[in-house]
C-alpha cells in the first residue's frame, strides 16, 4: 500500500513539473508589456498584427521571434505609453522601413498599381467578356440567309450525303 | 487591324509572362532603403570602447557604415574585405555593433582584427531601427555631408565591392567634382 501511495505521489509531482515546465516554455516567447488601459493593449495588438517583420518576411511583428521584431514591439510599446497616436507610430515605421512594413500599404503613387492593378484587369476582362457575349447574341438573333453562291458552296460541302 | 486584334491576347500574354519571369529572379530580401538621400539619423551614443560618439565624429569624406555583430556568421565572410579596405586606406569604415553584447563584440574584434574607425554600440538595436536595419550584415555608403547614398544588404565581398560600391563611389565623386 505504501509503495502505491509513494508511486502516486511521484506521478502527481512529475506531472505537475511537466505542466509547469511546458507553460514556462510557452510563455518564454511572449513579451510581458505592461499597459495602463485595455485600450492601449488593444492598440498594441492591432499595430503589431498589422506591421510586418522586416527581417523574417511574411510574418507580422506579433508572430515573429526575430530580434528586429522584438525591438520594434518594444518601440511600439514605448510610443503607446508616451501617448503617441497610431498615425504617429505608423509614420515612425514608414520613415524607417517604407511601404514594406505595412501589410496594408498606403495609397501612394508607388503603390497605386498594387491597389488598383487587379481592378484594372477585372475591367479589361469584363469588357472583353461583354464584347464576346454581345457578339454571340446578335449572331444568334439574326436569321441566317445565304445568297446564291453561298448556297452553292454549302451544297458542295455537304456533298453527296444530301442526295437521296 | 483585325490581325492586330487577333494577336493582341498573345502580345498581352507575352508581356505579362516576361514581367513575371523577371520577377522570379528578383531577390525578395533586397528591400529598398527609405533612407537613401536622407541624412544619417542623429545619434549620441558610445562606442564599443566606451567613448562617446555623435554625428560630429563621422568621417568628413565618403565612408562605409557597416552593421555587424559577433553572432553574425556572414560578417566573418565579409570581414577580410573590410580589413583590406581600411588597411589600404581605400575608404574609412565605421561600424554599428548591432544587438550584440559588448564583451563578445570586443572579443570578436580582438580575435579577427578591427577594420572600423570606431564601432557604435547599439545593444538594444534602437539606432538600428532609426537606420531601418533588419539584420546584420548591412552596409551603407555615406557621403562627405553625412547623407546616406546607397545600401547593401548581406555580405559585402570583393565582387560586390567592385560591382556595386566602386561605381556608386565614382558617381558620388563625379557629382561633388572631386
Could you write out the three-class secondary structure of chain B? CHHHHHHHHHHHHHHHHHHHHHHHCCCCCCCCCCCCCCECCCCEEEECCCCEEEHHHCCCCCEEEEEECCCCHHHHHHHHHHHHHHHCCCCCEEEEEECCCHHHHHHHHHHHCCCCCCEEEECCCHHHHHHCCCCCCEEEEECCCCEEEEEEECCCCHHHHHHHHHHHHHHHHHHHCC
Give residue A24's pLDDT.
Answer: 47
Whether residue B2 lies inside any domain: the answer is no
Whether residue B99 lies inside any domain: the answer is yes
Asked if residue A113 and residue A100 are part of one domain, the reply reads no
From chain A, pick out residues whose CB is under 8 angstroms from the CB of B35: 96
Cis peptide before B137 (omega within 30 of 0): yes
Give residue B129's pLDDT.
Answer: 94
Whether residue A132 lies inside any domain: the answer is yes
Total count of domains within chain B? 1
Whether residue B26 lies inside any domain: the answer is no
B129 touches chain A (CB under 8 A): yes
Asked if residue A129 and residue A97 are part of one domain, the reply reads no
**Which B residues 35-54 touch A at CB under 8 Å?**
35
From chain B, pick out residues whose CB is under 8 angstroms from the CB of A67: 99, 125, 135
Asked if residue A99 and residue A34 are part of one domain, the reply reads yes
Whether residue A12 lies inside any domain: the answer is no
Whether residue A11 lies inside any domain: the answer is no
Give the residue with greater pLDDT, B172 vs A9: B172
Whether residue A51 lies inside any domain: the answer is yes
**pLDDT tier for residue A2 given thresholds of 50, 70 and 90:** low
Whether A67 and B135 lie within 8 Å, measured CB to CB: yes
We report the CATH number of the domain holding residue A71 as: 1.10.8.640
Asked if residue A84 and residue A36 are part of one domain, the reply reads yes
* Smallest Cα distance from B93 to chain A, Å: 22
Averaged pLDDT for residues B99-122: 96
pLDDT of A91-109, one tens digit each?
999 999 988 899 988 888 8
Whether residue A151 lies inside any domain: the answer is no
**Which A residues 104-163 touch B at CB under 8 Å?**
none
Whether residue A78 lies inside any domain: the answer is yes
Whether residue B159 lies inside any domain: the answer is yes
Asked if residue A130 and residue A97 are part of one domain, the reply reads no
Whether residue B69 lies inside any domain: the answer is yes
We report the CATH number of the domain holding residue B132 as: 3.40.30.10
- Residue A39: domain span: 29-106
Asked if residue A102 and residue A34 are part of one domain, the reply reads yes
Asked if residue A118 and residue A86 are part of one domain, the reply reads no
Please state the φ and ψ torsions of residue A132, each to the nearest 5 degrees.
-65, -45
Residues B100 and B108: their CA atoms lie apart, in Å, by 11
Asked if residue A72 and residue A40 are part of one domain, the reply reads yes
> Which of A23-27, B120-124, B158-162 has the lowest average pLDDT?
A23-27
Whether residue A60 lies inside any domain: the answer is yes
Whether A96 and B126 lie within 8 Å, measured CB to CB: no
Whether B129 and A95 lie within 8 Å, measured CB to CB: no
pLDDT of B113-148, one tens digit each?
999 999 999 999 999 999 999 888 999 999 999 999
Whether residue B25 lies inside any domain: the answer is no
Whether residue A149 lies inside any domain: the answer is no
Residue in chain A closest to B41 (alpha carbons) equals A96
**Which A residues 44-63 touch B at CB under 8 Å?**
54-55, 57
A98 touches chain B (CB under 8 A): yes
- Residue B99: domain span: 35-176
pLDDT of B74-85, one tens digit each?
999 999 999 999
Asked if residue A139 and residue A112 are part of one domain, the reply reads yes
Total count of domains within chain A? 2
Residue in chain B closest to A68 (alpha carbons) equals B134
> Complex ipTM, two decimals?
0.84
Amino acid at each position: 500500500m505504501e509503495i502505491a501511495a509513494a508511486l502516486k505521489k511521484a506521478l502527481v509531482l512529475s506531472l505537475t513539473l511537466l505542466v509547469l515546465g511546458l507553460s514556462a516554455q510557452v510563455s518564454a516567447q511572449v513579451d510581458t508589456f505592461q499597459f495602463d488601459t485595455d485600450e492601449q493593449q488593444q492598440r498594441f495588438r492591432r499595430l503589431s498584427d498589422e506591421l510586418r517583420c522586416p527581417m523574417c518576411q511574411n510574418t507580422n511583428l506579433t508572430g515573429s521571434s526575430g530580434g528586429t521584431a522584438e525591438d520594434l514591439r518594444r518601440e511600439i510599446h514605448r510610443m503607446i505609453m508616451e501617448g503617441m497616436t497610431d498615425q504617429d507610430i505608423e509614420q515612425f515605421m514608414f520613415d524607417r522601413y517604407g511601404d514594406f512594413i505595412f501589410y496594408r500599404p498606403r495609397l501612394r503613387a508607388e503603390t497605386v498599381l498594387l491597389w488598383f492593378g487587379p481592378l484594372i484587369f477585372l475591367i479589361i476582362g469584363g469588357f472583353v467578356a461583354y464584347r464576346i457575349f454581345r457578339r454571340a447574341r446578335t449572331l444568334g438573333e439574326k436569321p441566317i440567309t445565304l445568297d446564291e453562291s453561298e448556297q452553292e458552296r454549302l451544297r458542295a460541302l455537304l456533298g453527296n450525303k444530301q442526295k437521296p | 487591324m483585325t490581325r492586330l486584334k487577333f494577336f493582341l491576347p498573345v502580345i498581352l500574354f507575352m508581356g505579362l509572362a516576361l514581367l513575371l519571369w523577371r520577377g522570379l529572379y528578383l531577390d525578395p530580401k533586397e528591400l529598398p532603403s527609405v533612407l537613401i538621400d536622407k541624412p544619417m539619423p542623429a545619434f549620441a551614443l558610445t562606442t564599443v570602447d566606451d567613448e562617446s560618439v555623435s554625428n560630429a565624429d563621422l568621417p568628413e569624406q565618403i565612408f562605409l557604415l557597416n552593421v555587424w555583430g559577433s553572432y553574425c556568421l556572414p560578417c566573418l565572410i565579409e570581414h577580410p574585405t573590410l580589413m583590406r579596405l581600411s588597411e589600404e586606406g581605400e575608404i574609412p569604415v565605421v561600424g554599428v555593433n548591432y544587438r550584440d553584447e559588448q564583451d563578445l563584440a570586443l572579443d570578436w574584434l580582438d580575435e579577427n582584427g578591427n577594420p572600423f574607425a570606431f564601432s557604435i554600440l547599439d545593444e538594444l538595436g534602437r539606432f538600428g531601427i532609426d537606420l531601418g536595419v533588419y539584420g546584420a550584415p548591412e552596409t551603407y555608403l555615406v557621403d562627405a555631408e553625412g547623407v546616406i547614398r546607397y545600401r547593401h544588404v548581406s555580405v559585402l565581398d570583393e565582387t560586390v565591392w567592385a560591382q556595386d560600391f566602386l561605381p556608386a563611389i565614382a558617381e558620388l565623386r563625379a557629382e561633388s567634382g572631386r
